[in-house]
Structure 1
Amino acid sequence: MTESGNPDHGNASEYTGSHIQVLEGREAIRRRPGMYIGSVGERGLHQMVYEVVSYAVDEHLAGHADAIDVTITADGGVRVADNGRGLPVEVQEPDGKPAVERELTETSFGPKNRTGYRLSGGLSGLGLCVVNALSTRLTVEIHRDGHRWTQEYEKGLPITALTRNEESSGHGTAIMFLPDDDIFETTPDSFAMLSQRLRELTFLNGGLAISLTDERPGRAGRPVRHHHTDGLRAYVAHLGPHPPSPVHSPVIAFESENEDATMFVQVALQWNTRSTGGFHSFANSTRTHEGGAHEEGFRAALTDIINDYARRQRQIVAGDEEITAEATQEGLTAVVSVKLAHPVFEGSTRTVLGNPEANAYVQEVVREHLNGWLDQNPNDAAAIIRHILKAFTEQGKS
């Protein structure tokens, strides 16, 4: 501004397009790591682990892997190995790079067709690339096509060609990475926090086994192994009060996939007489702490179903006040997990699911299956309604 208050355009020619800096690829990731993994502290380090594990979970969802081994190595690095198909190694046009190298270096968002995943977690296909860019060193080892293959990277750039080694009858991928201490404020990973998240993933993906080992000096101990064939049923039991105080037993659980196979919904719930494990929602195995469309669909359907059933059974009659959503959730432990081909997350934190179709389909699934369960289990259903009506009455007195 000039002294008169009018803008001074005299130096406009000094501000040109050359002053605008556009960061691309690994440079953008390394300069702005928080945009991709949330922080450069411990939370960001954990996200690095989860992104590599997400690839292995995708292999499980595609029906090709049932075991993942995570190791915190003695030097503070992390190794994630799975028994899936192994990352593709064939050379691809037009750049003539091996598919694995493109997977570890490309920064284009969105599903990558070469992986063949119908449903995918992590950073929309960008996770492995981000981990590579933020690591001082990364080594990938692949067993597929009858051989063991290896390639090494430094700070996101390949320093060796993809090498075909000795013959191998195995299959799977192992990725070892050492987070860059020039980027991260801390290096140690919390074994307990990693174990908690890995256990959560086994609940959300029934039949998948994940082990965690710590090889750091002074911390080495027996590996922890998580494996839950009952999936969300086991998760709800785990989240509920201890000792258990169920209004009904067993845990109610159901799942459904839409006609075009672009959305898979899993729900498990149980009412308890005391305390509660609360409500937990997930989209593509990512915890949606702030809810979103799938959570809204569940809550809306639940309130309607409880009111409709109570009226049909004359536990409330015409003229009675509608049971509130708060009362229907008294003592409730519930988990809703959706897996979508094209998830839309709101905000950089990826904690709100924005897909409106998830709301509609979750409502449809809950109405069909929970109504059916209540009709088929009248004694338990009556106990649930009594429990909810008691909470509703107490709510009105307060």
Structure 2
Amino acid sequence: MSEEDTRYDASHIQVLQGWEAVRKRPGMYVGSTNERGLRQMVFEVADRAVNEVLAGRAASVDITLTHDGGVRVADDGPGVPIADMEGAGGSRLEALLTQMQAGVGTGGRYDVTIGFCGVGPAVVNALSCLMTAEVRRGGARWVQEYARGVATTPLTEVGTATGSGTIIAFWPDADIFGAMEFSFEGLEERFRELAFLNKGLDISLTDLRRPDGSRSVRLRFPDGTRDFVDFLDGHTAASTPMDTIAFEREDPRMAGEMEVAFRWCNCPDERMQSFANSRPTVGGTHMVGFRDGVAAAVTAYAREQGLLTPMDPDFGADRIGAGLTAIVSVKLDRPEFQGATRGVLGNSEVRDCVGQAVQDHLGRWLKEDPERAAAVIDQIVQGARRD
């Protein structure tokens, strides 16, 4: 290797200014430059609107896929403040859409980060050839346009307005994204999930791109995780003899709350999903606690009723899943996630809190009806034998 090949000095360092870094490495901010990245762009803009509803400042969120390849996100909240922000060199609206937001999605147990990043709408602006904002606030209507991370027009009052709210629309930059087609189904799946996990959330998703007419879904589920279990069970739900066990509990020991719903169906499959602060998780202390609680309650009941002999081992937490559909959702003031992908919840106290709550509720449910209790235990035994 020559001296020229090994020389490394300041001339080799490239300094990217402004939004140039985001545009050069978009995958670092939205995951990819294909459909997955496009979907993440929608989530980053929708975060703020969803959190307005969860905070009680708005009633609904409407997301529209427009015929010309754009996305419009609207809410009926108080409207993003349009007053100048000290030190920002512009309005609070302009700061939201042109400055990277530090700590987005860390406002407590009810603050939702829809996607995996939480980098904010300014990154979406940087990766869009056009972004428009409309704010209805204080009886006036304000508009502003942006492109590739910067404002291209001043914030302008254009007339009077009834009601209040914010509409942000964007068109992804074709120079950045290889795929320019948003997946309606992919967006619907995540927004439906959020609506299940947050009872007060009302989201509408509309697709105007179809030549045979628009399609729209309204996602609102007053029964929360109980509705989620019904959805996961699908056609098997009607044929199952088991009730859904569902409860909510606040527990100061874990500085948060839990919402759990589960039931056994007449099928061998296990369908369990877990969430922490509305973020999907692949496991963690909340799921370990759930399995501990189910195993403890079933074992205790089986021994009381003589369904297990003194020589029989306890039902293990790994043996209770046959036919079980479950949603375990916790919302914590200070969630701790393991790993860079934040897919595993690590708060140690959550295990005992969830485990005890599940054991209490399932234990009472089993004692209410010996017949269905026996059916549950038989299904667990049969599933263990298949394993």
Q: TM-score, normalised by structure 2?
A: 0.87
- The yes-or-no answer on 1:274 pairing with 2:267 is yes
| Equivalent AA in structure 2 for residue 263 of structure 1 | G
Cross-structure match for 2:130: 137
Q: Distance in 2 between matches of 1:180 and 1:297?
A: 45
User: Corresponding residue for 1:225?
Assistant: 218
CA–CA distance in structure 1, aligned partners of residues 185 and 279 of structure 2? 18
1:104 aligns with one of 84, 94, 97: 97
The answer as to 2:240 corresponding to 1:246 is yes
Which residue matches 1:216? 209
- Superposed, which structure 2 residues align to 1:15-94 within 5 Å? 15-21=8-14, 23=16, 26-94=19-87
1:352 equivalent to 2:344? Answer yes
For residues 57 and 267 of structure 2, what CA distance do their matches in structure 1 show?
41
Where in structure 2 are there 5+ consecutive unaligned residues?
none
Give the secondary structure class of the aligned counterpart of 2:252: coil
Distance 1:269 1:356, change over 3 A: same
3-state secondary structure, aligned to 1:161: coil
Residue in 1 that maps onto 2:190: 197
Measured after TM superposition, the shift of residue 255 of structure 1 is: 1.6
Query: 1:241, 1:274 within 8 Å by CA — same for their partners in 2?
Result: no
Q: What is the RMSD of the two structures over their aligned residues, measured on CA atoms? A: 3.0
- Are the counterparts in 2 of residues 25 and 107 from structure 1 also a CA contact under 8 Å? no
| TM-score normalised to structure 1 length | 0.85
Partner of 1:273: helix, strand, or coil? coil
User: Aligned letter for 1:63?
Assistant: G
CA contact (8 A) 1:270 1:333 kept: yes
User: How has the CA–CA distance of structure 1 residues 106 and 388 changed in structure 2, closer, same or farther, with 3 Å as cutoff?
Assistant: same
Question: Offset of 1:316 from its aligned partner?
Answer: 1.9
| Structure 1: segments with no counterpart, 5+ residues | 3-7
Greater displacement, 347-356 / 196-205: 347-356
CA positional deviation for 1:344: 4.1
Whether 1:325 aligns to 2:317 is yes
Residue-by-residue CA offset, 1:249-308 (whole Å, 9 max, x unaligned): 1x11112234399533211111111144611112332322x3233323322332233223
CA 1:159–1:378: 2 relative to 1, 3 Å: farther
Structure 1's 44 and 247: CA in aligned 2 closer, same or farther, altered over 3 A? same
| Partner of residue 340, structure 1 | 332
Which residue in the other structure is 1:5 paired with? none
Distance in 1, matches of 2:200 and 2:98, equals 31
2:161 is aligned, of 163, 168, 188, to 168
- Aligned to 1:294, the other structure's residue is in SS state helix
Asked if structure 2 preserves the Cα contact closer than 8 Å seen for 1:240 and 1:276, the reply is no
Aligned-pair identity in percent equals: 45
Counterpart AA for 2:355 = Q
SS in 1 for 2:77: coil
Instruction: Tell me, yes or no, if structure 1 residue 305 matches structure 2 residue 314.
Output: no
Q: What amino acid is aligned across from residue 274 of structure 2 in structure 1?
A: S
Structure 1 range deviating more: 183-192 or 82-91? 82-91
Change (3 A) 1:189 1:360: same
Offset of residue 70 of structure 1: 1.2
Q: Deviations over 1:113-142 (max 9, x none)?
A: 9x8995232466523222222111111212
Q: Secondary structure of the residue that 2:235 maps to in structure 1?
A: coil
